[in-house]
Structure 1
Amino acid sequence: MDQLAAFLHEFPALCLFLSILLGTIIGRFHFKGVGFGAVVGTLIAGIVIGILARPDLPDLLRWAFFYLFLFSIGYSVGPQFFGSLKKEALPQIALALIVAVSGLAAVIGVTAIFDFDEGLAVGVLSGGMTQSAALGTGLSAIAELPIADDSKAALIANAPLADAITYGFGDLGLILFLTWLGPKIMRADLRGEAKELEKKLSGGKVGGEVLSGAHYGFRAYRVENAQLAGSAVAALEERYAQARLSVQRIQRGEQLLTLGPERKLQPGDRIVVSARRLAFADAERVIGPEVDDPALLSVPVKTAAIVITSREANGKTIAELGLDPRTRGVYLESLQRGTELMPREPWTVVEQGDILHAGGAPDDVERAGKFIGFIEHDLSRTDLTFLAAGICGGILLGLLRLSAGGITLGL
């Protein structure tokens, strides 16, 4: 064991990535649906490897990774945070303030009872509340204390240790409270109430994913119905709005016509429509006989990730978005909020920052993207300019200090 510890001590980079490796493995284990996750797993692995090897990591590396971690958290939850600042969210905001104040009071009480120093108090607060940002703020406050450098170093070393030890208990305690203790105290049946809420939100209706692309396709027809001849494309699409019908092509003779809402259909026109498959059941009766023409049916299909930023789209349900003419011809594959997949039900409300993974003809997808927000062309690519600017802005903002009664306050 001593030889292993000595070997790891000589290679701090190996200790760092070994902690990540073992932490992600620990995070994969679940017992009855409850697990630590990669973050707490990495903390546990880091504590064990740190005690064993005592690696020397430069402070610059620690702070660089810490800033990246905080930026990632802020970037992922930012849209939902600002989107929730409305009158309806006042109870949740009040609850957040109560949790923050009561948590701080509990830490002050524990610190007084067990005579913890300032470093341990900061770590207990950030770890027990699972608020990593508090660790950075606390370390900055310790650095401003009018004490000897050796004492500062000891306090700064104690804070991450207390944070790492208590973070797991804070995370596990939250999980146990939400899934077991809380429902018992309130005598609540989470499973039953979730089903009741789903039934209430859906209006008692099952399925009917208005934007869902699970059952859509392309078909070609020759216009022979006298009632349809002379009507505009917009009228046909509006008639079958619930089925998400969209005219993709119109061929008159050998010529492909330019599409537009006011384009009139004439007898003999061959049109290509996209729609949910249920619309094709009586399409031949409404439009005319189906046409099997591979060249005509070769409509290009584009899949894109559309990020919701538009105020007009924010707060609408999927059903409301699906009935808007600007989303015609676009079919939802999935709805993502942060790292979570949301239900693709008509009653699901979209929020700023949500990502719609949708498919359809390129022009339709581009039109819907401009209405909803913008199209993220490559979710796997990081904009280093934006990343560096965000971290620089956060560091500069954190340099601001306010002195009150001899106490220096800052972010």
Structure 2
Amino acid sequence: MELIENLFMGYPNLWGGGVAHSVLILSLVITLGIALGKIKVAGVSLGVTWILFVGIVFGHFNMNLNEHLLHFLKEFGLILFVYSIGLQVGPGFFSAFKKGGFTLNVVAMIVVFTGVVMAIVLHFVTGTPITTMVGILSGAVTNTPGLGAAQQANSDLNGVDAPEIALGYAVAYPLGVIGCILSLLALKYLLRVKTAQEEAEAEQGMGHIQELTVRPVTLEIHNGSVNGKTLREIHPLVKRRFVVSYICRADGDGEIEMAGADTVLHLNDKILVVSTPIDVEAITVFFGKQVDMVWEKPDSKYISRRILITKSELNGKMLSQLKIRQNFGANITRVNRSGVDLVASPGLQLQMGDRVTVVGSELAVSHAEKVLGNSLKRLNHPNLIPIFLGIALGCILGSIPFVFPGIPQPVKLGLAGGPLIVSILISRFGPQYKLITYTTMSANLMVREIGISLFLACVGLGAGEGFVDTIIHGGGYVWIAYGAIITVVPLFVAGLIGRYALKLNYYTLIGVLSGATTNPPALAYSNDQTSCDAPSVGYATVYPLTMFLRVLTAQLLILSLA
């Protein structure tokens, strides 16, 4: 009996209660939290956030860890979590600021800054401590890195942890998830959305995502100035990024041919063009008109295959350097990176883990496959040097103080902001310097889930002791209302501006709003509303900047008002 008691309550003569005690408590909290996270009510689940609530229960019954060990594991878990997020979003971070992406990010910034303003107003009007209010803000927008950034900023400022940050987060989080989904549903009726029309436009990639997606179109050549010219000669005249993969001759018997830089075009030829929706209209006007044609025929001698780039020597090389068309007679028509399709322009730099679409004969595609790699075994071997080097650089960057006028204490990016920025930069620019930063999605997800699980378990254990007393006697139930205000008001403000001022497609808009609250259940709801990928594109476009702003604003609120 004494053994069981020591295992759960800790060995009094050992630092931290003993290794077995610490590992047992953490493992039980995480296991029970993940198991409860699989339960869905009306299709909605709180996911890994259940780990936080289980940790609070354990902490309430004094099944806890040594405070120094708890602090270390919490910070280490946070570093793993934000660094893996940065590696995932980094490759597409800067491309999200193109014209279409910039507009979407403006809507996301409206959500972020409106929420911050609401938190500041509630802080002064109600007298709620800013530490608690920042916790409520992070929970209301379901942003765990913001919670970590706030806790670390307060620790740097006062030398101690503030459990009220985690308490505010825990109280506001459930309604943050549900409130966001209900707000998206309410916007649908408030904006009087005609779903059929909105979905038709979204399917075509129109609106503000037209620079962020790629689609194929069939064109029939009617422009006499094109007649007799090669694609190599035509490209500079069009001044748009596009790839021609197939051609069907007007004077032939309907046989489909591969197209290349030296392919000569004639009047009434049909070509399959891959480009961004924003460029399709100009390309169509230049060549002739759009027509319908089935290119993928059962008896065709050409195939299309997606191939993974897994050879390290290709990392950072431009597509034109591969000479796939000249050497093998195959075409690369698009490149998928981090879930986003890019036009396969000659100057595009490749990265490990890119998925390229190759078209050509079976033999040509097989030869191209050998050059590109397509070996999952190579990708399954993790590249640990960029991970730990990046974490080290992130810790250094996060520890550098920056002085801002009006803020009494120097601002540090901290262990949330530093590693996040370094991971974004190293994953985006590393390939240019032959640094392989790619990790498989499964490996990235494993590191991220371990990190967030450790972080939430430790936060819950640290906040558990005073949770019940705060809710019952400390007026914590009122925090739910504060969280609801911070969740709903910014979404309605940004939704109305995005729809009426910026003319966003509804399905793009709800994806952006889900990303602006970093809310995966809201994204799942948005995706269920349509068969197109507009919500996912909107979510992925604003997620990196939103995550960065959430981390930064949480720290600034603590440092300026605490």
TM-score (norm 2): 0.44
* Structure 2 segments unaligned to the other structure (5+ residues): 11-20, 207-214, 217-244, 263-294, 342-347, 414-562
| Structure 2 equivalent of residue 407 of structure 1 | 409
Q: Is the 8 A contact 2:29 2:54 kept in 1?
A: yes
* Aligned match of 1:278: 297
User: Equivalent pairs: percent with the same residue?
Assistant: 23
- In structure 2, the partner of 1:62 is 74
C-alpha deviation, 1:48, in angstroms: 3.0
Q: Which amino acid aligns with 2:166?
A: P
How many residues end up aligned between the 2 structures? Answer: 304
* Amino acid in structure 1 at the alignment position of 2:141: M
Task: Tell me the residue number matched to 1:46.
Answer: 55
Q: CA deviation at 1:311?
A: 9.6
Q: 1:363 corresponds to which residue? A: 367
Cα deviation, 1:210-236, whole Å, max 9, x if unaligned, reads 8xxxxxxxxxxxxxxxxxxxxxxxxxx
Q: Please say which of residues 88-97 and 350-359 is displaced more in the overlay.
A: 350-359
| Residue of structure 2 equivalent to 1:290 | none
Query: Matched residues in 2 for 1:238 and 1:191: separation?
Result: 32
Q: Does structure 2 retain, via aligned residues, the 8 Å contact 1:330–1:365?
A: no
Q: Does 1:158 align with 2:157?
A: no
2:247 and 2:256 in contact (8 A); partners too:
no
Task: Compute the RMSD of aligned alpha carbons.
Answer: 4.8
Q: Tell me the equivalent position of 1:286.
A: none
Query: Which residue of 143, 149, 155 corresponds with 1:143?
Result: 155
Residue 84 of structure 1 deviates from its aligned partner by: 0.5
Give CA deviations for 1:95-143 in whole Å, capped at 9, x if unaligned: 2221221111122223334433343233223322333333343234323
Q: After superposition, what is the alpha-carbon deviation per residue over 1:64-97, rounded to whole angstroms, capped at 9, x for unaligned? A: 1110011111111222222212222222222222
Assess, with a 3 A threshold, how the Cα gap between structure 1 residues 177 and 352 changes in structure 2: closer, same or farther. Answer: farther
Work out whether residues 19 and 46 of structure 1, in 8 Å CA contact, stay in contact via their aligned partners in 2: yes
Higher relative contact order (CA 8 A, sep 6+): 2
Corresponding letter in the other structure for 2:174? G
The correspondence for 1:93, drawn from 80, 91, 105, is 105
What amino acid does structure 2 have at the position aligned with 1:130? T
Q: Deviations over 1:277-313 (max 9, x none)?
A: 73526x7xxxxxxxxxxxxxxxxxx985338987977
CA 1:9/1:69 → structure 2, altered by over 3 Å: closer, same or farther? farther
The equivalent residue for 1:34 is: 44
Deviations 1:116-174 (A, max 9, x none): 334323322332233333334323432343x5x5xx34xx2322333333333323332
Give the 5 Å matches for 1:259-408.
Answer: 278=297, 280=299, 305-306=308-309, 328=330, 337=338, 355-356=354-355, 362-367=366-371, 377-403=377-403, 404-405=405-406, 406-408=408-410
Give distance in 2, aligned partners of 1:327 and 1:398: 50
Runs of 4+ in 1 over 4 A off after TM superposition: 3-7, 189-192, 237-246, 307-313, 322-327, 329-332, 350-355, 357-362, 366-369, 374-377
Superposition deviation, residue 357 in structure 1: 7.7
Structure 2 residue 120 is the aligned partner of structure 1 residue 117? no
Give distance in 1, aligned partners of 2:187 and 2:81. 30
After superposition, the C-alpha distances for 1:306-363 in whole angstroms (9 at most, x for unaligned) are 38987977xxxxxxxx99998928899x96746xxx89xxxxxx99888428797553
Alpha-carbon spacing, 1:195–1:13, altered in 2? closer, same or farther (3 Å): farther
- Give the deviation of 1:63 after TM superposition: 1.0
- Seen in structure 2, the aligned counterparts of structure 1 residues 277 and 191 have a Cα distance that, compared at 3 Å, is closer
How many angstroms apart in 2 are the aligned matches of 1:125 and 1:92? Answer: 22
Give distance in 2, aligned partners of 1:132 and 1:66: 9
Equivalent-residue separation in structure 2 for 1:169 and 1:125 (angstroms): 12
Where structure 1 has 5 or more consecutive residues not aligned to the other structure, the ranges are: 202-208, 211-236, 247-260, 262-275, 284-301, 314-321, 344-349
| Secondary structure in structure 2 of the residue aligned to 1:30 | coil
Do the aligned partners of residues 184 and 142 (structure 1) sit closer, same or farther apart at CA in structure 2, a change above 3 Å counting? same
The aligned residue for residue 104 of structure 1 is: 116
- Mapped to 2, the partners of 1:110 and 1:94 lie a distance apart of 24
C-alpha separation in 1, matches of 2:138 and 2:256:
49
Of residues 158, 176, 192 in structure 2, which corresponds to 1:170?
Answer: 176
**Cα distance in 2 for residues equivalent to 1:46 and 1:244:** 63
1:75: which partner in 2?
87
Q: Give the letter aligned to residue 402 of structure 1.
A: F
CA contact (8 A) 2:138 2:169 kept: yes
Match of 1:84 in 2: 96
1:397 deviates by 0.8
Instruction: Please state whether the residue corresponding to 2:123 is helix, strand or coil.
Output: helix
SS in 1 for 2:64: coil
Query: Aligned AA for 1:44?
Result: F
Secondary structure at the aligned position of 1:278 is classed as coil
Q: Which has the higher helix share?
A: 2
The answer (yes or no) to whether the contact 2:138–2:146 under 8 Å persists in 1 is: yes
Question: Is 2:22 the counterpart of 1:12?
Answer: yes
Alignment check: 8 A CA contact 2:134 2:165 kept: yes
Q: 1:122 to 1:194 in 2, by over 3 A?
A: same
Distance 1:193 1:410, change over 3 A: same
Residues 310, 6 of structure 1: alpha-carbon distance in 2 compared, 3 angstrom cutoff:
same
Shift in Å, 1:199? 5.2
User: What does residue 283 of structure 2 align with?
Assistant: none
